[in-house]
Structure 1
Amino acid sequence: MNARIVLATRNAGKLREFRALLASSPGLSGVDLEGAVIDAGSAGCAEIPETGLSFEENSLIKARAVAEQTGLPAVADDSGLSVDVLGGAPGIFSARWAGASASDESNLRLLLEQLADIAPEHRGAAFVCVASLVVPDAHGGPAQEFTTTGRLEGRLLLQPQGLGGFGYDPILQPSGETRSTAELSMEEKNAISHRGQAFAALREHVVEALTP
């Protein structure tokens, strides 16, 4: 099987999570996912501005652009942290909360500073993810598009905990957990995470795209 799919990201953490999720799919048994699932950089895609005003808009913008640039099926997601006392912010600005070229650590530290005087009982938050799959039509017809949503509820810790994951993982403690998201194994995280939920809901369509 030589079919490939592009994950519209240059984030190595997202690529690892997506491949790990697909690895448990019976329809892909024996498939070399490192060769079949590539990132936007490996596919030679240009940077895609996230000009949408919602997670869904940004997700579809990226998936459509990558599918058009490569001619391959493309999966994209837009995700972020929604904090109750901030009215849902950082939201779509999560990756650049501390500035356009901010690091994960800078974003995380700024958010903790902004919430420093917020009591634990008011630190409710959730990771939200919208994932999209765009499959070009081999005969030039309209592409197929699928969109799914995932949400991981929890609360924000006072300080980072754990070395795993990326982004805001070290400060979100999922509901019912004593650990931060960054302290979960990849398997545990994929089983409950916003991205895991959204990607899992797309999995059947991704398997079809990889096994024409």
Structure 2
Amino acid sequence: MTYDGERPAAADLAPRLVLATHNQGKLAELRALLRGQVAGLDVDTQVVDAGAVGGPDVVEDGVTFAENALLKARAVAAATGLPAIADDSGLAVDVLGGAPGIFSARWAGRHGDDRANLELLLAQLSDVRDEHRQAAFVCAAALVDPGARVPETVETGRLEGTLLRQPQGEGGFGYDPILRPAGLEVSCAELTREQKNAISHRGRAFRALLPAIIAALR
């Protein structure tokens, strides 16, 4: 960065990368991933969320996680002229053929009602034996660069596990209290933020996308 006295020059504070979300947890995760990866990039001022640059609200009418992620990234990149990242994620249950999938956030009929979604899913699976309760959190992360330094890129991350019969833990959100990651004895809601980020579907997708992000910012 360039400094004018003790204050950064205005040009140095201009956003260079937009994450198409208003979720500050996702933004913090992306900033942590990028910290120190791109010379001259101040992640705390130049990696921003959609609200900071007036990004549009986007109707997520794709039929896959990847389609929805690309819809959001394309819209924000077009509106801001900046490289944009977006993700879409949900829970895929084996015995339900991958559902709730893209409908995870509105499985019970109302968008964002975590408790109702979780309770409905548990009721639907109440007769499913433990050995058949495999599921995974899935995330598709997309990068769209209006400057065409890199092509549109989508990467996917998964967190495999099994579904519990009752919620466990107070952390996280959504279906976190009922997914126990493979190899662990706790639910996602019982992990610290650092533990969850290290193995999460979103963390894995963002890390896979990192080379394309770095190329778009050079």
- Which bin holds the TM-score, normalised by the shorter protein? 0.7 to 0.9
- Give the counterpart letter for 1:182 in structure 2: A
Structure number with greater Rg is 2
Q: Find the residue that maps to 1:165 and give its secondary structure.
A: coil
1:112-127 equivalences in 2 (<5 Å): 112-127=122-137
* Unpaired stretches in structure 1, ≥5 consecutive residues: none
1:123-162 equivalences in 2 (<5 Å): 123-137=133-147, 144-162=151-169
Cα distance change on mapping 1:106 and 1:35 into 2, 3 Å = farther
**Residues 51-84 of structure 1, C-alpha deviations (whole Å, 9 max, x = no match):** 1111111111111111001111100111110001
TM-score by length of structure 1 reads 0.87
Q: Identity over the aligned pairs, expressed in percent?
A: 61
Aligned residues: 206
1:38-49 equivalences in 2 (<5 Å): 38-49=48-59
Q: CA-atom RMSD, angstroms?
A: 2.1
Structure 1 stretches of at least 4 aligned residues deviating more than 6 Å after TM superposition: none
**Residues 117-153 of structure 1, C-alpha deviations (whole Å, 9 max, x = no match):** 222221110111111101111xxx6973111111111
* CA shift for structure 1 position 109: 2.0
Q: Find the residue that maps to 1:18 and give its secondary structure.
A: helix
**Matches of 1:46 and 1:147, distance apart in 2:** 20
Residue 106 (1) aligns with residue 113 (2): no
Q: Find the residue that maps to 2:186 and give its secondary structure.
A: coil
**Matches of 2:47 and 2:168, distance apart in 1:** 31
**Matches of 1:69 and 1:90, distance apart in 2:** 31
Residue 10 (1) aligns with residue 22 (2): yes
**Residues 132-187 of structure 1, C-alpha deviations (whole Å, 9 max, x = no match):** 101111xxx69731111111110011122222222211211110001111222222
The match for 1:176 among 178, 183, 204 is 183
